């Protein structure tokens, strides 16, 4: 090998390594800013939502999960903006603040088993993976479900199991669930999901028609099976597809 090649190859490798490290640091800084913005929005909306601060475990998960790896390449530069982004097939990845709020409302414990209806890109499931013992997530749009499965496996979210199917019916095989989260707006609360919610469990679901007002609901099932519902705030979600 000539002298100039001996010099050039290590130099190229060093530039490549520096670029990768710099990009990683930049994404980490953006995530930190995103988390600060979530904290500020939570404080501002606390009177409406009843949550003046997001639990520290949830905030830590929001800061650790690389949202830029859950969006299409053309949206990577927008990944840490506090807004929903298109992920294809008419679906979106939810606004980070809403992801944090919905996760916080469920009060997930390390021993919990959680059901998610509407996998999308897999981002919400990845957040839950850092909080729960197991996460089962269902996506009705087959290409999105397959992409999310591959992505979650590649990123080593081993607590998450995915399925392509109609989330209206839940996932009976792993029921009952300590918490259920629905990431698309239903016109009413699906009865199979209510049956699969464990006594003492919580469900967070947006309810309302696509072009009318939707509200994020917190549903709690008491130990004796009594159900209570609390309206949290108005939201805008893509409609729940299926039944």
**Residues annotated as part of the active site:** 94
6 exposure class (CB count in 10 Å sphere: 0-12, 13-18, 19+)? exposed
Instruction: Please tell me the chain's helix, strand, coil percentages from 3-state DSSP, rounded to the nearest 5.
Output: 45, 25, 30
Phi-psi region of 226 (alpha: psi -120 to 50; beta: other; left: phi over 0): beta
Q: How far apart are CA 214 and CA 62, in angstroms?
A: 25
Do strands 177-182 and 113-117 pair parallel, antiparallel, or not at all (unpaired)?
Answer: parallel
3-state class (DSSP) for residue 54: coil
Do β-strands 160-164 and 134-139 pair in parallel, antiparallel, or remain unpaired? Answer: parallel
Q: Which residues of 154-180 are buried (b: 16+ CB within 10 A; e: fewer)?
A: ebebebbbbbbbbbbbbbeebbbbbbb
3-state secondary structure of 228: strand
């Amino acid at each position: 090998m000539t002298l100039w090649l001996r010099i050039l190859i290590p130099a190229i490798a060093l530039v490549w390594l520096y670029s990768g490290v710099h990009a990683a640091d930049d994404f980490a800084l953006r995530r930190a800013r995103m988390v600060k913005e979530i904290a500020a929005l939570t404080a501002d909306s606390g009177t409406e939502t009843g949550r003046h601060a997001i639990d520290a475990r949830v905030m830590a998960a929001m800061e650790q999960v690389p949202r830029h790896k859950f969006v299409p390449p053309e949206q990577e530069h927008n990944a840490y903006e506090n807004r929903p982004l298109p992920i294809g097939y008419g679906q979106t990845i939810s606004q980070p603040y809403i992801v944090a709020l919905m996760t916080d409302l469920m009060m997930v414990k390390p021993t919990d088993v959680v059901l998610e209806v509407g996998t999308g890109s897999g981002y919400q499931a990845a957040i839950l993976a850092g909080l729960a013992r197991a996460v089962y997530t269902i996506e009705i749009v087959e290409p999105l479900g397959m992409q999310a499965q591959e992505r979650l496996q590649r990123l080593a979210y081993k607590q998450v199991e995915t399925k392509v199917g109609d989330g209206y019916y839940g996932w009976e095989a792993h029921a009952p669930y300590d918490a259920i989260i629905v990431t698309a707006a239903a016109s009413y609360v699906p009865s199979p999901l209510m049956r699969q919610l464990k006594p003492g469990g919580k469900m967070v679901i947006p309810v309302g028609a696509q072009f009318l007002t939707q509200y994020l609901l917190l549903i709690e099932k008491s130990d004796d099976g009594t159900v209570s519902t609390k309206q949290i705030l108005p939201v805008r979600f893509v409609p729940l597809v299926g039944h």
